Amino acid sequence: MSTLRVAAAFAVALSVTPSFAQSARPPVEAFGTIPTLRGPSLSPDGKHLAMIQAYQGRPVATVWALDGSNAMPVVIPFDNGFISSVSWANDHRLLVTININANMWGWGVNPWYRMVAVDADGQNPVAMFSNIQDDHLVNGSTATVDDFAPDDPDHIYMPLWADYGVLQGRPDVRNRIWRVDVASGRAHLEVNGGPHTMEFFMDGTGKVVARRDQTNDPLMDHILAYESGDSWREIAKTDASNDHGYSVAGLSQDGKSLILLQKTGDMRRAGLIAMSLADGSERNFYFHDIYDADGALTDPWTGRVVGASYTSHLGESVYFDPKLKEIQSHLEAAFPGTTVRAVSWNRDRSRVVISTTGPTSPREYWLYDVQADKLARLGRSYGQLKPTDLGEVEVFDYKARDGVAIPAYLTLPPGKTPKNLPVVVLPHGGPMARDDMNFDWESQFLANRGYAVLRPNFRGSSGYGTQFAEAGYGQWGLKMQDDITDGVKKLIADGIADPKRICIVGGSYGGYAALAGAAFTPDLYACAAAWAPVTDLRELLYSEKLEAGGDDTWLASVERLYIGDRRKDAKKLDDASPALHADKIKIPVLLMHGEADATVRIAQSEEMERALQKAGKKVTFIRIPNETHQQLASQTRIRWLTELEKFLKANIGD
């Protein structure tokens, strides 16, 4: 495969990649500036490419002509909230999804998503559902597209919870499928769901084939096949009160089955199941021999399932479609030792946008001309970083105290012998997630600053089978925390870590683990830093119960599995809540939280700060206005890394 020269760099045209003076160490901005490009999307005819790029620290949508003219891009900014994704409705209209978190219903900060259609030249923007007033909507999103219809390119099909009574003169709040004009934004009702309908499934031509309902007492999922009019036929139902359920990934290529991402079953790991639309019968569709399937790979235009993905140390793609399978094999040969993934293609699959990333390779995007068998590099996500700035990533698996094997990764500072190093322990969020060997901006920043970084996949992490995930049920602050502790002790025993210079740092669940480490192993760490942490487990469960609508919801039932029952397990939850044990903490603590966080409310950090101050402990708490859980603005990431670097230098040295 030949590689083309990179045409006029996209980042240069937008001035989106800041220029930094060369120094022994790159500045914080080289790591903390949000990726210079992400989420590329090819138009159906392959003549335009849209993507999200960083401009002055914020995401903007850009549209590039692929006609060889090297014309400047069209830039579509949005100042309030954040642009979260771009995709094409047809050859000429782009769909831009905007996230604004705000206090909508008096429950605190809530996520709010809206989709806007705009011409490829940036003109004629209009919001979808323009004929339905916001005060009639009872859901937080009008930004989900369920289907495109190639024979009707001027319309898309979208689900919406709406107070239909306002429109029809009767009280009736239901989820429905609407046919939406992408030129005017006006929506026309197509198919009615029921009062318990959670989602619809469509066939790639604008036709509904099934829906999923969820009922309470007992909590059950129901799959109903669509017949005609308001006629539905139930083909399957399953217990939804545990985490052994499924999500529907899409329709099989032959259109006869729904493809489910099932979390367990007789294979005891996540994989794909085919459910017949005729009678609800199931058969195994795809399972890896060792790892959980991460999800299904779907065609962006039809929604049909064309492959599956899983993660070993790197991400892997397995295609069932012969043409895509051939393309994937060809690209993997061109980029050995990396995660190679097709992220977008045009309708006839003559052009494909791919992403590549590896342990010391920040994500890059390439445009692949299939017929000419040529690649053109679109850009690099962290363009100011050189390979010599980055640390090698090693597998660092170890055994927990009870014999459970814990997968982990160790990032070493470039140019340093792995002996007696200052160490940052960086447990991931979730906790239903996992780390892998691909480039990670946070751990690479810390390694560049001279710290070895341990990222353990403690029990309860996803990717390693049902038994490993279930081993984390109810183990917040207990065995999950012991797994992290045992990894630190292994680093000390191996002589890699200086036992007096170890700090634990994390975000979300990782932030909880950092504070739990400070409270429950107070002599192991020299400092702890947390972004958007959970600090009081019972308060978390209570506030989310109120938001989700009670204890008999899917979210509440799953959280009871992962964390515990806020009533029955009250003492256990309190014993595992760092905010209730601030008096045990001996080390300095850094807290940072976004005020627009709708995932873990800032009240959790506020409670932790009050408890530490009351106990006379050393704490720094920094609030970030308008920021969400995900650190979407460059200035937030830069502030986090800047404060973290100062904090680490003061407590475990440089």
Residue where a domain terminates, one of 514, 547, 576:
576
Residues 560 and 474 in one domain: no
> Are residue 498 and residue 546 in the same domain, yes or no?
no
CA–CA dist 646, 649 (Å, integer)? 5
**Res. 55 pLDDT band, cuts 50 70 90:** confident
Share of the chain above pLDDT 70, in %: 89
One domain, residues 464 and 425: yes
pLDDT > 90: percent of the chain: 71
Query: How far apart (Å, rounded) are the C-alpha atoms in residues 288 and 272?
Result: 10
Q: Which residue has the tokens 């081993």?
A: 471
Sequence-distant (6+) residues with CB within 8 A of 68 are none
Instruction: Tell me if 507 is assigned to some domain.
Output: yes
Q: Are residues 570 and 620 in the same domain?
A: no
Is residue 428 domain-shared with residue 491, that is, in the same domain? yes
**What are the pLDDT digits (tens) for 311-366?**
999 999 999 999 999 999 999 999 999 999 999 999 999 999 999 999 999 999 99
* Nearest-10 Cα torsion for 65, 70, 76, 77: 150
> Residue 54: phi, psi to the nearest 5?
-90, 130
Q: How far lies 130's CA from each of 116, 182, 184, 192, in Å? A: 10, 10, 7, 20
Confidence at 81, pLDDT banded by 50, 70, 90:
confident
Please indicate, yes or no, whether residues 548 and 505 belong to a single structural domain of this protein: no
Q: What values do phi and psi take at 360, rounded to 5?
A: -120, 25
- 560 half-sphere exposure, CB direction, 13 A CA radius: 17
Position 571 pLDDT exceeds 90: yes
Judge if 410 and 546 occupy the same domain.
no
Examine the fold and report which residue of 516, 551, 576 is the final residue of a domain before the chain moves on. Answer: 576
Q: Is the pLDDT of residue 75 over 90?
A: yes
Exposure on the CB side of residue 614, measured as CA atoms within 13 A: 12
Residue 602 lies in a domain: yes
Last residue of a domain, one of 560, 576, 592: 576
* Per-residue confidence (pLDDT) for residue 253, from 0 to 100: 94
Lowest mean pLDDT, pick from 106-120, 213-227, 608-622:
106-120
Cα–chain center distance at 130: 29
Interval 195-205 mean pLDDT: 92
Query: How many Cβ atoms from other residues are within 10 Å of residue 197's Cβ?
Result: 22
**Region of residue 637 (left: phi > 0; alpha: psi -120 to 50; beta: else):** alpha
CATH number of the CATH domain containing 592: 3.40.50.1820
Q: Cβ–Cβ contacts within 10 Å for residue 193, how many?
A: 24
Say if residue 492 is in the same domain as residue 625: yes
> Quick check: is 431 in a domain?
yes
Please state the domain count of the chain: 2
Location of structure tokens 């976004």:
594
pLDDT band at 243 (very low <50, low <70, confident <90, very high): low
Mean of pLDDT values over 584-590: 98
Which residues span the domain enclosing 411? 390-536+582-652
Q: Which two tokens stand for residue 37?
A: 């490009």
User: Is 309 domain-assigned?
Assistant: no
**Nearest Cα residue to 410 out of 340, 336, 469, 359:** 359
Same domain assignment for residues 552 and 407: no
Domain annotation covers residue 412: yes
Q: Is residue 562 part of a domain?
A: yes
Cα of first residue to Cα of last residue in the chain, in angstroms, is 44
Regarding whether 459 and 410 lie in a shared domain, the answer is: yes
Evaluate whether 482 touches 401 at the Cβ level (below 8 Å): yes
pLDDT at 23: 52
pLDDT in the model for residue 219: 81
Whether residues 563 and 617 fall in one domain: no
For the whole prediction, is pTM greater than 0.85? yes
pLDDT value of residue 246 = 76
**Structural domain includes residue 344:** no
Q: Please, where are the H alpha helices in 131-237? A: 164-168
At 550, the pLDDT band (50, 70, 90 cuts) reads low
pLDDT at 68: 77
Check whether residue 498 and residue 630 sit in a common domain.
yes
CB 260 within 8 A of CB 308: no
What's the residue count for the chain?
Answer: 654
Does the pLDDT at position 529 exceed 70? Answer: yes
